[in-house]
């Protein structure tokens, strides 16, 4: 029964948020109110940054809706004179788009699941369990962040080739079962905020470390776990070097390789409207993913799990 009370307390900590009153908005961190000029200046700066970062996305969408003739005009038009929605359909037929999409989705989902589980377990050991030499071992894990990718590229390829896993998805998915330094660091810093009294109460009640990890710590670490899932999904979805090195069979290729192949095959006369349409379709799942989980993403980045 005490274990259920601890779990309820963890859920309460996870869901509890401090709401600001209307009068709190527009104030500085020390409680003083911003001057009107400072408030307007900050809004104008944020608006300018928003426009700057939105321009590439806007230009990609506009180019995807133009005809080849309109794309060739100079100076370029800022808005299509006629919307060619057929470009999105054609972009999925000029190459095996949905085959590549399925391959990318399978690899990405597998990597996200394995990354979340493995990094959470390792981070729990570094944050919620006391054992001799814990911090020293953690420093070694952090040191792996300083290893550049080219240093491990050839040894990793030789290892997978010796195991017979080249031209399979195994080299792209299996490493996610082994926690990474950055994700472990992010989760550990978040879980260090877990009240020790709560964990000790669960242990006194007879709960195993496995139960404590998944029934108490995991719900409260959901924002940080979401950040890891999003970072892992974006990195795997956009990964170009991994599929380029390990995959030779076209039936196993991902969208990042398919887009490059489509561009190289049509190098003399690239249909940029179809290329932009396909690029938008590749980007769309990541945009949807972020907007669905943006609340957890922002709270996870700020590392404010417990109030």
pLDDT score, position 113 = 94
Mean pLDDT, residues 23-41: 65
Of 227, 216, 150, whose CA–CA distance to 185 is shortest? 227
pLDDT score, position 151 = 87
Over residues 128-186, the pLDDT tens digits come to 888 898 889 999 988 988 888 888 889 999 999 999 999 999 999 999 999 888 899 98
Report whether pLDDT(18) > 60. no
Q: What is the pTM of this model?
A: 0.79
* Strongest mean pLDDT among 6-15, 75-84, 105-114, 286-295: 105-114
Q: Is-contact 127 191, C-beta < 8 A? A: yes
Average pLDDT, the chain: 82
Q: How confident is the model at residue 29 (pLDDT cuts 50, 70, 90)?
A: low
pLDDT score, position 307 = 43
Mean pLDDT, residues 41-69: 86
Q: Return the higher-pLDDT residue of 295 and 123.
A: 123
- What span, in angstroms and rounded, lies between the C-alpha atoms of 257 and 129? 43
Report whether pLDDT(48) > 80. yes
Over residues 259-306, the pLDDT tens digits come to 888 777 666 666 788 888 888 999 989 888 888 877 766 665 555 444
CATH of 90-301, picked from 3.40.50.1360, 3.30.420.40, 1.10.3720.10, 3.90.850.10, is 1.10.3720.10
pLDDT score, position 87 = 86
Domain assignments of the chain as residue spans, ordered by start: 35-84, 90-301
Q: What angle do CA 126, 129, 130 make, to 5 degrees?
A: 95
pLDDT score, position 110 = 95
- What span, in angstroms and rounded, lies between the C-alpha atoms of 223 and 83? 40
Q: Is-contact 211 263, C-beta < 8 A? A: no
Mean pLDDT, residues 240-252: 90
Of 120, 125, 126, whose CA–CA distance to 177 is shortest? 120
Q: How confident is the model at residue 33 (pLDDT cuts 50, 70, 90)?
A: low
pLDDT score, position 292 = 83
Share of residues in the chain with pLDDT > 70 (%): 83
- Which residues face 33 on adjacent strands? 27
Report whether pLDDT(30) > 90. no
Token pair belonging to 237: 């979805």
pLDDT score, position 266 = 65
SS3 string, 52-86, reads HHHHHHHHHHHHHCCCHHHHCCCCCCCCCCCCCCH
Report whether pLDDT(95) > 50. yes
Over residues 183-201, the pLDDT tens digits come to 999 889 888 888 888 888 8
Q: Is-contact 70 80, C-beta < 8 A? A: yes
Q: Return the higher-pLDDT residue of 82 and 188.
A: 188
- What span, in angstroms and rounded, lies between the C-alpha atoms of 212 and 128? 10
Over residues 212-227, the pLDDT tens digits come to 888 888 888 888 888 8
pLDDT score, position 191 = 87
């Amino acid at each position: 029964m005490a274990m259920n009370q601890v779990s309820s307390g963890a859920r309460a900590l996870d869901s509890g948020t401090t709401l600001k009153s209307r009068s709190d908005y527009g104030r500085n961190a020390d409680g003083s109110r911003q001057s009107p000029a400072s408030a307007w200046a900050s809004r104008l700066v944020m608006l300018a940054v928003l426009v700057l970062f939105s321009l590439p996305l806007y230009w990609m969408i506009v180019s995807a809706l133009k005809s080849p003739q309109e794309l060739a005009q100079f100076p370029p038009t800022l808005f299509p004179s006629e919307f060619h929605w057929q470009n999105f359909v054609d972009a999925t037929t000029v190459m095996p788009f949905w085959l590549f999409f399925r391959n990318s989705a399978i690899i990405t989902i597998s990597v996200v699941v394995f990354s979340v589980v493995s990094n959470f377990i390792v981070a729990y050991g570094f944050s919620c369990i006391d054992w001799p030499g814990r911090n020293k071992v953690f420093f070694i894990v952090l040191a792996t962040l300083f290893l550049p990718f080219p240093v491990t590229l050839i040894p990793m390829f030789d290892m997978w080739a010796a195991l017979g896993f080249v031209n399979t998805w195994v080299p792209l998915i299996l490493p996610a079962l082994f926690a990474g330094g950055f994700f472990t660091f992010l989760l550990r810093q978040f879980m260090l905020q877990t009240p020790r009294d709560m964990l000790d109460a669960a242990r006194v009640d007879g709960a195993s470390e496995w139960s404590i990890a998944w029934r108490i710590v995991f719900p409260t670490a959901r924002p940080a776990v979401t950040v890891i899932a999003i970072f892992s999904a974006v990195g795997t979805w956009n990964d170009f070097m991994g599929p380029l090195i390990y995959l030779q069979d076209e039936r196993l290729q991902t969208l990042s390789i398919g887009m490059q192949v489509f561009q190289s095959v049509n190098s003399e006369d690239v249909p940029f409207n179809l290329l932009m349409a396909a690029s938008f379709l590749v980007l769309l799942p990541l945009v949807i993913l972020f907007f669905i989980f943006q609340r957890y993403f922002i709270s996870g980045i700020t590392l404010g799990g417990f109030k």
